[in-house]
A and B are shown apart, each in its own frame.
Chain A
Amino acid sequence: MSIRAVSLVGSLVLLTPATRQPIAQRTLFVSNEVSHDVSVVDAATNKVIATIPVGGRARGIHVSADGRHVYVATSDDKPQTESTADAIVIVDVATKKVVAKYHAGSDPEQFAVLPDGSRLYASNEDGGTATAIDLRTGKHVATLIVGIEPEGVAASPDGRWVYVTSETSNSLSLIDARTNAVVGNLLVDLRPRAVAFTPDGAHAFVTAEVGGTLTVVDAKTRDIVNTVPIEGGEGKPVGVAVSPDGRRVYVASGRTGTLSVIDAASLRVITTVAVGKRPWGVTLSPDGRFVYTANGLSNDVSVVDATTNRVVATVKVGQRPWGVAVAGR
């Protein structure tokens, strides 16, 4: 795979130490898979304030560690072939404009950014690999062999580990980010879709869509320590997020249209909240007060109050929303 500079805009913007303006206003960035764009939502009013075209199927989405950029994984509509639409698109939070585009291997779907902002790891669904990209240069620094149909990616809070799930081989690959090597693989439940670490980095939670479960991995011993049935094993868990205080785990169950709220310590399912149709991505506000789900079939985002576990707003966004990232406090 060759390294290609995809954008004329280049990465200069990222390298410039611009005046640090903390973004006080909380803003949601929602990736839309079918409309090939990102909806920008003012979290105070729950209204769409901008739509940013990104030139491909927008799926994985995250905010940079410094909060100034949003990264979006985009791909073309033809898997098995690499094109310029297979990229990580970088959006400036302040100007809401695309400022750079990094080549990311074939068909990038999900990714994780290391907490120090140095690198990004993307899963290449049809390639059976994960690609590590240096975010200062846009260059590929490693291509790692993981399982078949890699999907979910998460970085540990200390930036040492990157976990990648693979749907067809039912595996979780453990990557040492210091050496960029796969140091182990765990056999998890059927069709693992997403993974999230606890804020202390002690555990990781893996959703298994066909298995209908949430697998708990001890990050230190690298063992599976528990498997929690979601909706009695009949749920279809996809997206997963852990609250900033580490006390709650939120699991989006795509085909049942629900968000399961789980106590991270006891692993008891506290409640199941009905959200929009086919929720996929789930994320929390930095203060942990709100949970957001991107609902693919109802083309909206559900805003759930984490204190009451009730849907307090539903925001119409683009077509087939996939994920949500939160910028600002």
Chain B
Amino acid sequence: MSEEIGRRAFVGRTVAVGAIWGMRNLCGATPQTLRIGVVSDAAAGSTAVILGARLGADEASRGAALFGAGPVELTVGSFEEVLAGDVAALLAAKASMADCLRLANVAAERGKLFVNTTCAEDALRGDDCRASAFHVAPSRSMLRDALDEARRHAAVPLPSDATATAWDASLERFGADTLNNRFLARFKAPMSADAWCAWFAVKVLAEASLRTRSVDTRAIASYLRGSTAQFDGHKGRPLSFRAWDNQLRQPVYVIGTVDGARRLLAESPVSASASATSREVLDGIGTTATSTTCRFVP
């Protein structure tokens, strides 16, 4: 029942957004720029997260231009450099759990968002969770559950290098091939899981900004965690953030080497019932609403 109401609310909002964009185009309001920072200490500045964020920002800017909205501007630099800029959200190019926690805390203190694209630690979604931190990277428990499920369902033992991941350059279904091709054509490098997470992080921030017509951190955050917001990540199912820990619900892929080539071995979670909604299916891996230890401080 609640799902049905949620759906209706979403339908209502879609109507409103469509109408507003038409008006805005006519009025010619000054477009606002959505600023996103990528914290990177690497001088070379070409890690997967940076490349993914760049593709995401370019595509989001092109998309925003269609609707008369401002571009998405990416600042890549040290912690201090990024914070000096008027960014709405932060990503980390390469980060330990301590770095991720520090960025989540800084984001909370300064009224920004931290979108985690690299840290899998469950603690960041549990005891150390922050309302200002959203997790695109799958949690350790999601990855573990996916690998366990793949092992249970496999007809033959999985190859020894089988790993669970958010993304792989060998994926083809659900438009994954077109995204992988765009990334490869642009950077001459395969799209890794880190790159996908960063691309998706920028995409959802920009989409939240576009659909709320705001670059305000609070408006974006409340859209992201809203019960009806969902996003397309070239993974087939609509993706959304879990209200209890800000973790992105998403399919996880088990990839391994077969006959010398990296192959998709399994997609997890597998639907237990034909009538299950996408959300119910995707909540089949990782921490549930009842088992979470996350308590967001209001």
The reply to whether A126 and B15 form a contact with Cβ atoms under 8 Å apart is no
The reply to whether A225 and B238 form a contact with Cβ atoms under 8 Å apart is no
The reply to whether B66 and A147 form a contact with Cβ atoms under 8 Å apart is yes
Bound complex: CA of A173 vs CA of B63, how far in Å? 11
Q: Tell me which of B62, B178, B211, B238 contacts A79 (CB under 8 A).
A: B178
Bound complex: CA of A281 vs CA of B236, how far in Å? 19
Bound complex: CA of A125 vs CA of B178, how far in Å? 9
Interface size class of B (residues with CB under 8 A): 35 or more
The total number of A-B Cβ pairs within 8 Å is: 104
Distance between A279 CB and nearest chain B CB, rounded to angstroms: 16
Please name all residues of chain B whose beta carbon is closer than 8 Å to the beta carbon of A211 when the two chains form the complex: 230, 232, 238
Asked if A167 CB lies within 8 Å of chain B CBs, one says yes
The reply to whether B63 and A169 form a contact with Cβ atoms under 8 Å apart is yes
CB closest chain-B residue, reference A149: B178
A225-238: CB near B (< 8 Å → 1, else 0) gives 11111001110000
Sampled A-B contacts (7; CB under 8 Å): A126-B178, A147-B62, A167-B175, A187-B17, A210-B230, A223-B19, A224-B17
Asked if A120 CB lies within 8 Å of chain B CBs, one says no
Chain A positions near chain B (C-beta within 8 angstroms): 79-80, 125-126, 128, 146-149, 167-171, 173, 184-191, 210-213, 215, 221-229, 232-234, 255
CB closest chain-B residue, reference A146: B66
Asked if B185 CB lies within 8 Å of chain A CBs, one says yes
Interface residues of B in 1-31 (CB under 8 A from A): 3-4, 7, 10-11, 14-15, 17-19, 21-22, 25
Please name all residues of chain B whose beta carbon is closer than 8 Å to the beta carbon of A224 when the two chains form the complex: 14-15, 17-19
Please name all residues of chain A whose beta carbon is closer than 8 Å to the beta carbon of B67 when the two chains form the complex: 171, 185, 187
Bound complex: CA of A27 vs CA of B236, how far in Å? 34
Interface residues of B in 221-258 (CB under 8 A from A): 230-232, 236-238
Please name all residues of chain A whose beta carbon is closer than 8 Å to the beta carbon of B211 when the two chains form the complex: 187
Q: Name which of A167, A210, A221, A232 has the most chain B CB atoms within 10 A of its CB.
A: A210
CB closest chain-B residue, reference A185: B66
Distance between B202 CB and nearest chain A CB, rounded to angstroms: 13
Please name all residues of chain B whose beta carbon is closer than 8 Å to the beta carbon of A227 when the two chains form the complex: 10-11, 14-15
The reply to whether B11 and A226 form a contact with Cβ atoms under 8 Å apart is yes
Known A187-B67, A223-B19; contact A126-B182, beta-carbon cutoff 8 A: yes
Chain B positions near chain A (C-beta within 8 angstroms): 3-4, 7, 10-11, 14-15, 17-19, 21-22, 25, 59, 62-63, 66-67, 175, 177-179, 181-182, 185, 207, 210-211, 230-232, 236-238, 277-278
The reply to whether A223 and B22 form a contact with Cβ atoms under 8 Å apart is yes
Bound complex: CA of A149 vs CA of B232, how far in Å? 13
CB closest chain-A residue, reference B68: A185
CB closest chain-A residue, reference B203: A168
Known A80-B181, A191-B175; contact A223-B18, beta-carbon cutoff 8 A: yes
Per DSSP, are chain B's interface residues mostly helix, strand or loop, or mixed?
A: helix
Known A148-B59, A191-B232; contact A171-B15, beta-carbon cutoff 8 A: no
Please name all residues of chain B whose beta carbon is closer than 8 Å to the beta carbon of A146 when the two chains form the complex: 66
The reply to whether B238 and A168 form a contact with Cβ atoms under 8 Å apart is no
Bound complex: CA of A328 vs CA of B231, how far in Å? 42
Bound complex: CA of A234 vs CA of B279, how far in Å? 10
The reply to whether B19 and A147 form a contact with Cβ atoms under 8 Å apart is no
CB closest chain-A residue, reference B230: A190
Bound complex: CA of A79 vs CA of B183, how far in Å? 12
Known A190-B232, A211-B238, A232-B4; contact A169-B66, beta-carbon cutoff 8 A: yes
Distance between A266 CB and nearest chain B CB, rounded to angstroms: 15
Please name all residues of chain B whose beta carbon is closer than 8 Å to the beta carbon of A79 when the two chains form the complex: 177-178, 181
Known A80-B185, A226-B11; contact A186-B238, beta-carbon cutoff 8 A: no
Please name all residues of chain B whose beta carbon is closer than 8 Å to the beta carbon of A167 when the two chains form the complex: 175, 232
CB closest chain-B residue, reference A256: B274
CB closest chain-A residue, reference B16: A224
- Per CB-CB distance, the 3 closest pairs between chain A and chain B, nearest first, are A224-B18, A169-B63, A185-B66
Please name all residues of chain A whose beta carbon is closer than 8 Å to the beta carbon of B182 when the two chains form the complex: 80, 126
